[in-house]
Chains A and B, each alone.
Chain A
Amino acid sequence: MSIDHATVRRIARLARLSVNDADLAHLADELGRVLGLADQLASADVAGVEPMAHPHERALAWRDDAVTQGDRADAFLALAPDARGGLYVVPKVIE
């Protein structure tokens, strides 16, 4: 499995990770080797086999859409690098 530099850049962009030019070559090589491992999956006969997403063969639990743990907004906003007036603050998005 070989991964080209453009693909590494595209995937890194999707994952919101930056890749230095100096790291591109070895990252492409490493990703190629890990994905090469995954290519072994091609040897399995999976015709008619249902994908298994989860160990439990049952529906996930449901609950009412209601507040159960009280209003902790202040405690959680206190963790933010920047929060004002009860809101998370991010750099300006619209000019």
Chain B
Amino acid sequence: MKFPIAQLAQDLRARKVSAAELATQALAAARARADLNAFITLDEPGALAAAARADAALARNEAPALAGIPFAHKDIFCTNGVRTTCGSRMLETFVPPYDAGVVERLNGAHAVAIGKANMDEFAMGSSNENSFFGAAKNPWDATRVPGGSSGGSAAAVAAGIVPFATGTDTGGSIRQPAAFCGITGLKPTYGRVSRFGMIAFASSLDCGGVLARSAHDCAHVLACMAGHDARDATSVDRAVDDYASALSTTLQGIKIGVAREYFGAGVDAGVGAAVQAALQQYKKLGATLIDISLPHSALAIPAYYVIAPAEASSNLARYDGVRYGHACKEPKSLEDLYTRSRSEGFGAEVQRRILVGTYALSAGYYDAYYLRAQRVRRLIANDFAEAFKSVDLIAGPTTPTVAFKLGEKSNDPLAMYAADVNTVAVNLAGLPAISLPAGFSAGLPVGLQLIAPAFAESALLAAAHQFQLATDWHTREPGR
């Protein structure tokens, strides 16, 4: 399924192909690439039923833009009647009785979900190795990680199984796997996409978004996903821009701030060189590059690894073995039911973050950790606000390195956290950002990150699309 969404939509309308045929192809492709472990659950009956509804809407000539387009949902979005695991043993057999807001919207548009994509447990991880269902693999090199936490989503798109997948981004979980897998990943402004039915990790940071091959495809999908949802109190009631029309905005006169902190010592030479070359391309296309500083960048990881675990420890308190999810056998007491259910149901990284968060919120440490991290969070947000007084977008490498080897960092939490060094600040500030393919280093994809002011997704998508009109990095495909 290596065609642009717009072309598939055209072929569906011209009856060159049916939604049922596309769904069958995507399911076959997913099975043929079982080695990637990109899916936790495939839903053939659901996909074929959705495809039949899409074909009926197409026959009536009343089909929305995404009708009949197959895709994958990250297994963090609740799907009515379809198992939703969040990559955890805790939810291994959980079948939600309702759909997430994002799921409703894509169903309403007659897009065809073929299954649930693999992910790090509760979206905590940068490699997909924290999944209870095993690591997903990078289609460019199956000995390497696809990134995380939306690793299955990124692998499925990069391998050409589906043209797009949903994802979530709490500290980089859309952008980092998009960079590692050579695709385009958009994290919208916090509140732009409904979090209703999206299993919570860190509620002031979690954000739903999309992974696809191009910015053009992302624009079509975001147009469907974005919008107010009264069931999510943090959802923003604000008109959704016409993202597809905005794509034609050229780069003439656009000022791009090149954040010097994003090119620090940890950045691999090959990654730095590819990103610098991409920036020169932007200059050629009419943009002006301006050297800027985001002085508190070095504190983003420390602030994030207090705030995210603190919120996680609170959110994950709901898994108690009583109402849903894993329950231990023959509990001796209520306390035993809580403690054993949680210890059996959660994996090592989730338990580690719950413990860190519990510590940071505990009596005597709250001010020194959580409150201080929230003050630093404001300094980081202020850095962006100051920069956006003089530039339209901010650019840098999405990740300091290309995809690393499976197992390379899985025993060292701090080395793993460092993979998020250029992405977490964006979540702390609640801004939109995109990662787009910008070249290769040692045969592996490199991602360029662009960051925009709140609700400027149109500017972000246009800047990415204009680059993709002039380059072909986003059309490169992994061999087998």
Q: How large is the interface on B (under 10, 10 to 19, 20 to 34, 35 or more residues)?
A: 35 or more
Main secondary structure of the interface of A (DSSP, over half): loop
Residues of A within 8 A of B327 (CB): 81-82
A91 to B337, CA, bound (A): 8
Cβ–Cβ < 8 Å partners of A66 in chain B: none
CB distance from A66 to the nearest CB of B (A): 12
Comparing B13-21, B162-170, B370-378, B401-409, the segment that makes contact with chain A is: B370-378
B41 at the interface (CB under 8 A from A): no
- Which B residue's beta carbon lies closest to that of A51? B374
Within residues 60 to 95 of chain A, which ones have a CB less than 8 A from any CB in chain B?
60-61, 63, 72, 75-76, 78-82, 88, 90-91, 93
Known contacts A31-B359, A34-B352; is-contact A52 B322 (Cβ 8 Å): no
Q: For B42, list chain A residues within 8 Å (CB).
A: none
A17 lies within 8 A of B351 (CB): yes
Give CA–CA (A53, B191) in the complex, Å. Answer: 14
Query: Within 8 Å CB of B362, what residues of A?
Result: 11, 14
Q: Do residues A79 and B323 form an inter-chain contact, with CB atoms below 8 A? A: yes
Cβ B375 vs Cβ A46 within 8 A: yes
Pairwise interchain contact B339-A11, C-beta atoms closer than 8 A: no
**Is B343 positioned at the interface, with any CB of A under 8 Å from its CB?**
yes
Q: Roughly how many angstroms separate A15 CA and B455 CA in the complex, as a whole number? A: 37
Cα–Cα, bound, A33→B301 (Å): 13
The digit string for B54-98, where 1 denotes a CB below 8 A from any CB of A, is 000000000000000000000000000000000000000011011
Interface centre among A3, A17, A31 (most CB of B within 10 A): A17
A34-B305, A37-B414, A41-B299 are contacts. A49–B378 as well, Cβ < 8 Å?
Answer: yes
Q: Say whether A31 contacts B323, CB under 8 Å.
A: no
**Which residues of the partner chain A approach B320 to less than 8 Å between Cβ atoms?**
16
Q: Are B337 and A41 in contact (CB under 8 A)?
A: no
- The segment out of B108-116, B150-158, B214-222, B230-238 that lies at the interface is B230-238
CB distance from B86 to the nearest CB of A (A): 14
Known contacts A33-B413, A34-B305: does B190 contact A56 (CB below 8 Å)?
A: yes
The answer to whether A37 and B322 touch (CB under 8 A), given A8-B355, A50-B378, A63-B230, is no
Contact B322 A90 (CB under 8 A): yes
A selection of 13 A-B contacts at a CB cut-off of 8 Å is: A16-B317, A18-B339, A30-B413, A31-B355, A31-B356, A35-B356, A38-B306, A50-B375, A54-B234, A55-B430, A75-B97, A76-B97, A79-B97
Chain A residues with a Cβ under 8 A of chain B: 3, 7-8, 11-12, 14-18, 27, 30-31, 33-35, 37-44, 46, 49-56, 60-61, 63, 72, 75-76, 78-82, 88, 90-91, 93
Which are the 9 A-B pairs with shortest beta-carbon distances? A55-B430, A51-B374, A81-B327, A75-B97, A79-B324, A52-B378, A46-B375, A15-B358, A55-B190
